[in-house]
Structure 1
Amino acid sequence: MNALQGIVKRSQLTKQELDDIKVLEDICSNYENITLKLNWSMLRDNKRDSENHIFYYENNVLVGFLGLYYFGRDEIEASGMVHPEYRRRGIYKQLVQTAKEECSSRSISCLILICPGNSASGHAFCKNVGSDYSFTEYYMERNDNTLMDIPAVSGLGIRQAMKEDLDAIARLNQNGFDMALEDAANFASSSLLKGDTLIAELNGTAIGKLNLRDTDNHAFIYGFVVAKEFRGKGYGRNILMNAVVYSQEKMNRLHQSLEVAATNDRALGLYKSCGFVEKSKIDYYELKKGVHF
């Protein structure tokens, strides 16, 4: 069998490939004392058909990796790494170039590079490929495993979303994230297939939603939105508290995590009031079609 060399693309990962990624992640993380955002639950998802995983090998040894993550918008997020001993050889540029080609083949107009906030090499990599800084998020965790005492709000509750909720979820995505209707519907459809969407209802009307992704040791909260006309009334905090309890009781996950834009003071205050604390910072860089590729 020929030795693996250079760029290799995969749509689904074997156990050996996942193990190789983990080994490389540990090497890179320990070298810089950083936490990489590799979205392991998505790496392990073998239901995806697109070539979302880009490897770089030197004589059968994995020395570079870039994972591509699509969330139903006109953009792909990418997170990766290069072995410290193989840097400054153009490997990251080749990984990103392959990702840009993948974006073009899927008619995706924006590639977003994910960079740990304290990674000097990561920022240098992102600048070296010509990307532009876009925004910063805080990664937050809640590690208090005691059940929350939730104030009762008449008529308000959360439940598992069903296929009949597709239109309501799409509207909430569009309302909360300023997404085009088609992108909002795609995001809603893909999240329903994963079975991780919760709907918040007030007297039978959908006023919010969020997603709970089951990871190795905690529940990751994402896609959280409350309809604009119901904000500022305390519903968001109640919904979030109910989601925490849901993850504890239904998923057996005592710890929760989430990400929030560093400039979103209202959301930061909400999450802190529910026991979440900032753990790390994540920076995002953009490469746009027609500008960078």
Structure 2
Amino acid sequence: MTSADTLRNIEELQQRCEQYDGISLKLNWDMLRQPSAAGNTEWLVTYEDELLVGFLGLYGFGSEMEICGMVRPGYRRRGIFTSLWNRAQSIIKRGQVTTLLLNTPAASASGTAFLAKLPLTFNHAEYQMKWNGNSSPSLSADASSAGGEVVLRPAIQEDTPTLIQLDSQGFDMTEEAAAEVYKLHKDEGMQEHIIIELSGQTAGKMRLYTEDNETWIYGLTVFPKLRGLGIGRSALLQTIEREQQNYNGVNLEVSLDNPNALKLYESCGFVIVNKQDYYRYTG
């Protein structure tokens, strides 16, 4: 079975689990579709009679790793996910992981029940948000801020150091860790790295990932000295308008401990559609 076949089976299993449980799983498809040579994303699967019944994804971000997974309804309570978790231990150790996070939809009874068996401590939660055109402000001609004109342009190779600097300052990470994360997404065709300029000078960045007419906004940040000028809001509204023209939905994620960002997104017409809980492994 090819990697492409496995990915199609994972997608089908995700749809089945989401429909059955009424949840939205975060499987980081932008990373799953990365070439396996990248070495930062791996998955483990379990088949029974050629049917995919279990999946566990391991996503590396430098020395941090996130894990999520699922088991097909009707095959649960048979130790399938426990077996996948045990198999994952060698991958975790090989990666010299210092922070291991396991995530589950807050509304997933089966996911929460499994995690309750492990030595974990609650780390943080994220809202997944989707733009709702019925509650949005006017999008037209919103290309300005208090500091001047805001322009979005594709990032080029020479922007790499700036992208790393912005991620480091915006998300409280070392530049080395930011560089590792950037490598994950460098060559993927379904995404764009965007530079946000204010009056011709770099002010911020974001990454857009589009698949199946749904665009996800990741890593939106502005240099600290330029915050509060409406740059992020202008970039968001311009992106929404462009994706509307391409008939794409617009989605993003925000941590619950970032109330300023949550307020900004809600003011631009985003509504909460799902909540993901993250737990740090202490074993």
> Are the counterparts in 2 of residues 217 and 253 from structure 1 also a CA contact under 8 Å?
yes
Query: 1:156–1:200: 8 Å Cα contact kept in structure 2?
Result: yes
2:182 corresponds to which of 175, 184, 188: 188
Report the secondary structure of 2:113's partner residue.
Answer: helix
**Which secondary structure state, in structure 2, belongs to the residue aligned with residue 284 of structure 1?**
strand
Which residue of structure 2 aligns with residue 256 of structure 1?
250
Once residues 21 and 76 of structure 2 are traced to their aligned partners in structure 1, the CA distance between those partners, rounded to angstroms, is 13
Superposed displacement of residue 151, structure 1: 4.8
Identify, as 1 or 2, the structure richer in strand: 2
Q: CA deviation at 1:84?
A: 2.9
The structure 1 residue matched to 2:231, chosen from 220, 231, 235, is: 235
1:219/1:257 contact within 8 Å kept:
yes
Deviation per CA, 1:251-278: give whole Å up to 9, x if none. x243200011122211111001111111
Moved more, 109-118 or 19-28: 19-28
- Report the counterpart of residue 278 of structure 1 in structure 2: 272
1:93 and 1:132 map into 2 onto residues whose CA distance is 19
Aligned mate of 1:148, from 136, 139, 147: 139
Q: Distance in 2 between matches of 1:66 and 1:108?
A: 17
**Structure 1 counterpart of 2:200:** 204
How high is the TM-score relative to the length of structure 2?
A: 0.87
- 2:177 and 2:31 map into 1 onto residues whose CA distance is 19
Pick from 95, 112, 120: which aligns with 2:101? 112
RMSD of aligned C-alpha atoms?
2.4
Q: Is contact 2:36-2:42 (8 Å) kept?
A: no
Out of 55-64 and 188-197, give the one that drifted further.
188-197
Q: Distance in 2 between matches of 1:282 and 1:223?
A: 17
Match of 2:24 among 35, 41, 56: 35
**Secondary structure of the structure 1 residue equivalent to 2:63:** coil
Distance 2:14 2:183 in 1: 31
Query: For structure 1, which segment, 138-147 or 78-87, has the greater mean C-alpha deviation from structure 2 after superposition?
Result: 138-147
- Alignment partner, residue 67 of structure 2: 78
Shift of the 215–32 alpha-carbon distance from structure 1 to 2, 3 Å rule, reads: same
1:167 CA displacement: 0.7
- 8 Å Cα contact 1:158-1:199 kept in structure 2: yes
Judge conservation of contact 1:93–1:129 (CA < 8 Å) in 2.
no
Task: Answer whether contact 2:63 2:95 (CA < 8 A) is retained.
Answer: no
Alpha-carbon distance, 1:48 to partner: 4.3
SS in 1 for 2:213: coil
Q: Separation in 2 of the partners of 1:24 and 1:47? A: 21
Q: Percent identity?
A: 37
Alpha-carbon distance in 2 for matches of 1:253, 1:45:
25
Deviation string, structure 1 residues 4-57 (Cα, Å, up to 9, x no partner)? xxxxxx9x7222x23322332233223322222223343334454436111012
Distance 1:204 1:222, change over 3 A: same
Letter in 1 for 2:96: S
Q: What is the number of residues matched between the two proteins?
A: 275
Query: TM-score, normalised on structure 1?
Result: 0.85
Question: RCO greater where, 1 or 2, for CA within 8 Å and sep 6 or more?
Answer: 2
Distance 1:218 1:253, change over 3 A: farther
Checking the alignment, whether the CA contact within 8 Å between 2:143 and 2:151 is kept in structure 1 is: no
Equivalent pair of 2:150/2:198 in contact (CA under 8 Å): yes
Q: Residue 8 of structure 2 aligns with which residue? A: 19
1:125 corresponds in structure 2 to: 114
